[in-house]
Structure 1
Amino acid sequence: MRRAASVLALVALISVFLAGPAAATGKTGQVTVFWGRNKAEGSLREACDTGTYTIVVISFLNVFGHGKYNLDISGHPVAGLGDDIKHCQSNGHLVYLSIGGFGNGYSLPSAKAAEDFAEYLWFTYLAGTRPGTHRPFGDAYVDGIDFFIETGSPANYDVLARRLWNYNKDFRGRTPVQLMATPRCKFPDRQVDRALATGLVGRINVRFYGDGYCAAYWQLEWEKWTKAYPDSQVYVGLPASEQVVGYVHPKNLFYGVVPVVQKAANYGGIMIWERYADKQSNYSSYAIQWA
């Protein structure tokens, strides 16, 4: 684990001599964080109030596709979360809901299952309203859906993406359903490539961590992702904990990684995994300066 992380650090340091310090021209100021993975991370409102994130992703809705649904936010109380969402949004933050995660309780066995799931998301968590529908966040609604598909069949996520996007046609001047995906770094990620092929996913968080290969060849994979989806904003996903393979020391982030990723015309920003680890390391305080 440590060895893989050190490989990435070495590659990043070599880039110092090739690229020099980060150029301001490629900065977007965008930092995304995943929230909901540890109850000790604090509230969603607290995360937004740090001032170091522009997008917060609630994770995960980890059971779907077979008539059952479950939101797992690691013991955080759902009561009051709607007010936190509205607080974050009123201060300029986007809030997404991530579907999938690391369990095996989800899949979309048919196009009908995908259509039903899209309808569920629209009326339960997004801007749709329907009498008699229980909304866990009350009258608050998230800005979009993130596809974090780690397990199961990749089938029908393209159907889900199109169906969700279709709700936007009734709204002029705004997009109540924004789509995001968080694939593994090795290109392509077969779990989400059908959804990405729709051309409807506006933000892609590529996970450059948890994989020794990615720690060594991150630049090669970054180029593949940015070239494959020129109309999407591509974020470089990094862990906030140095215990995770692929951790990049802040100094190496500034001198080695940022100058490389900001050369891409569709560079979106930095994604941080995840809020609890970031609360311990304060990694985002560096990221927000250089993103």
Structure 2
Amino acid sequence: MRGYQGVVSWSVLLAAIGGAQAKLDLDSTQNLVVYWGQNSLNGKGDKLQQPLAHYCDNEDIDVIPMAFNMMVNGPGGAPEIDFAVTSKDCDVFPGTQLKNCPSIGKDIATCQKKGKTILLSIGGATYSEGGFKNEDEAKDGAKLMWETFGPKQEGSKALRPFGDTALDGFDFDFEANVENMAPFANALRSLMDDDKSKQRFYLTAAPQCPYPDQSDKEILNGPVYIDAIWVQFYNNFCGVNNFNTDMSSNKYNFEEWDNWAKTVSKNKNVKVIVGVPADTTAASTGYIPSSKLDNVIEYSKKFESFGGVMMWDATQAYGNDGFIKDVRKSLGGADDSGASSDPASPSAPSPSPSTSTDFSKETSSSSNVPDSSLSSSSSSSASASPKAPETTAEAKPPAETTAAPTTTTEPVAKSTTTAAPTPTATPQDDDSDDDDSDPLDNILGNDLMGLLGGLRAANDVAGGITHGLTKGLRRPKRSLA
């Protein structure tokens, strides 16, 4: 435990020196991603979609993709964005359909200062450009998106709806076939990699679970370096609601996507994140309560590519009391950092227990509507997932085993009550060795934001490092005595 805390402490120290660091952790299995921008619940009062910064107050959320950017080359040669009720009052740049939303820009900056990764999701149900006519147009489109939403470029005439604020990257969520998206994505990747600022940028995608995803396959099947994907395991036969610990009946195909990560993806260290509906009305099929999702998460942790959970969307998650907190507990949070299993140990699922768990029998919380077309909307009344389901007849990779379903036993849902973590004034030592606590861990035990408050903490760190190094030199002598 001490070694893990030391790594976290160094991350905090780096944040203090170089500014806030985005929280999408490509070495972690605990990322929690929550889409924002489409007011999916379409609720009233406190159930209505709140400003972006409201959700960034939640310490359990790491990444927020903003949905959606619906056009790259819209009217007037500018992109087009829509964030439902939140962008309704934004002005529009003259001669375009691009909304000017400086208040959202301020919220993005606020979220980034709190360590959140904020992405712009390109696509959605109303995206209808179909991609680009040729490779040159795709590269020009990437340049336009970068100058509009990335770091402000000297001499650029691009309109900037979020002012000087730069997003942390782009998410691809295409729901229909698109052309020349690989050169578009590669051009964005090059612009990100060539940027001289200290900000780190990401490319992600949100394919549906049937493999290969028909809309995003041009991007995913080798040519583009993608940092992470959050697979939509809902609205399809391969959703989390069809998970079964009896592998002969399991239709949940995380193993197939893990195989993609290892054998097809250009980035062999890409993270595969489990996308789920955050409540019963967030998707047509696929929602399961957090008590059952816990079993899916534990199974998925057995695969090396597993990187966390994605939810559609913020309004649904906040309307489902305790869902975010329960999922955070299943993933392992700051108060549960040593509880999760090592995802890198086995690269294949462990043997099935004698009593299997079949989530496909869930009727109280998941619709029995067959897998048919369901469109999401980038309007304020959207209540579906960010992508419509689709049926594919293409062959699956060899990693998947298909067999006839077997009769299984419905599990009894376990309690999902989660106690809020109790902050402590000082860190706890886990052995009786004299004064062997890491000085950086002592900082971690206090309010992390207090580290940024002044030079006094930095001086304490410097002194603590000297003390820690001295101790490290003494320890081998004690062990040899």
Contact 1:100 1:106 in 2 (8 A): no
> Paired residue for 2:169?
144
CA RMSD of aligned residues (A): 2.1
Residues 1:241 and 2:249 aligned together:
no
Which of 201, 215, 222 is the matching residue for 2:254? Answer: 222
**Quick one: which amino acid aligns to residue 62 of structure 2?**
T
Task: Decide whether aligned partners of structure 1 residues 220 and 210 sit closer, same or farther in structure 2, where only a CA change above 3 A counts.
Answer: closer
Residues 1:257 and 2:280 aligned together:
no
- Where 2:112 maps in the other structure, the secondary structure is helix
1:102 CA displacement: 0.8
- Where 1:260 maps in the other structure, the secondary structure is helix
> Paired residue for 1:274?
313
**Quick one: which amino acid aligns to residue 161 of structure 2?**
P
- Where 1:102 maps in the other structure, the secondary structure is coil
> Paired residue for 2:191?
167
**Structure having greater relative contact order (Cα 8 Å, sep ≥ 6):** 1
1:107 CA displacement: 2.1
> Paired residue for 1:209?
234
- Where 2:38 maps in the other structure, the secondary structure is coil
> Paired residue for 2:432?
none
Contact 1:41 1:279 in 2 (8 A): no
1:52 CA displacement: 2.1
Q: Distance in 2 between matches of 1:249 and 1:181?
A: 25
| TM-score in terms of structure 2 length | 0.52
Q: Distance in 1 between matches of 2:109 and 2:304?
A: 32
Residues 1:72 and 2:112 aligned together:
no
1:128 CA displacement: 4.1
| Percent of residue pairs bearing the same amino acid type | 26
Q: Distance in 1 between matches of 2:228 and 2:158?
A: 29
**Quick one: which amino acid aligns to residue 32 of structure 2?**
V
1:232 CA displacement: 0.7
1:175 CA displacement: 6.2
1:79 CA displacement: 3.1
> Paired residue for 1:32?
33
Q: Distance in 2 between matches of 1:87 and 1:44?
A: 9
Q: Distance in 1 between matches of 2:184 and 2:158?
A: 20
Task: Decide whether aligned partners of structure 1 residues 177 and 192 sit closer, same or farther in structure 2, where only a CA change above 3 A counts.
Answer: same
> Paired residue for 1:7?
none
Task: Decide whether aligned partners of structure 1 residues 87 and 209 sit closer, same or farther in structure 2, where only a CA change above 3 A counts.
Answer: same
- Where 2:86 maps in the other structure, the secondary structure is coil
1:238 CA displacement: 0.4
Which of 119, 126, 145 is the matching residue for 1:96? Answer: 119
> Paired residue for 1:118?
142
Structure holding more helix per residue: 1
Residue deviations 1:162-189 (CA, integer Å, cap 9, x gap): 1001113434685643100000111110
- Where 1:285 maps in the other structure, the secondary structure is helix
Task: Decide whether aligned partners of structure 1 residues 117 and 133 sit closer, same or farther in structure 2, where only a CA change above 3 A counts.
Answer: same
Contact 1:96 1:144 in 2 (8 A): yes
1:65 CA displacement: 4.5
For this pair of structures, how many residues does the alignment match? Answer: 264
> Paired residue for 2:340?
none
Q: Distance in 1 between matches of 2:275 and 2:163?
A: 31
1:272 CA displacement: 0.4
Stretch moving more, 170-179 or 266-275: 170-179
1:279 CA displacement: 1.3
Structure holding more strand per residue: 1
Q: Distance in 2 between matches of 1:213 and 1:31?
A: 21
Q: Distance in 1 between matches of 2:183 and 2:172?
A: 13
Runs of 5+ unmatched residues, structure 1: 1-25
> Paired residue for 2:49?
41
> Paired residue for 2:130?
107
1:28 CA displacement: 2.7
Residue deviations 1:56-99 (CA, integer Å, cap 9, x gap): 01110012356452101113132311111111111111000000
Q: Distance in 2 between matches of 1:169 and 1:201?
A: 13
> Paired residue for 2:70?
62
Q: Distance in 2 between matches of 1:96 and 1:246?
A: 25
| TM-score in terms of structure 1 length | 0.84
Q: Distance in 1 between matches of 2:153 and 2:120?
A: 17
Q: Distance in 2 between matches of 1:100 and 1:267?
A: 24
Q: Distance in 2 between matches of 1:248 and 1:184?
A: 17
Q: Distance in 2 between matches of 1:219 and 1:173?
A: 44
**Quick one: which amino acid aligns to residue 251 of structure 1?**
S
1:216 CA displacement: 2.7
Q: Distance in 1 between matches of 2:330 and 2:198?
A: 29
Which is greater in Rg?
2
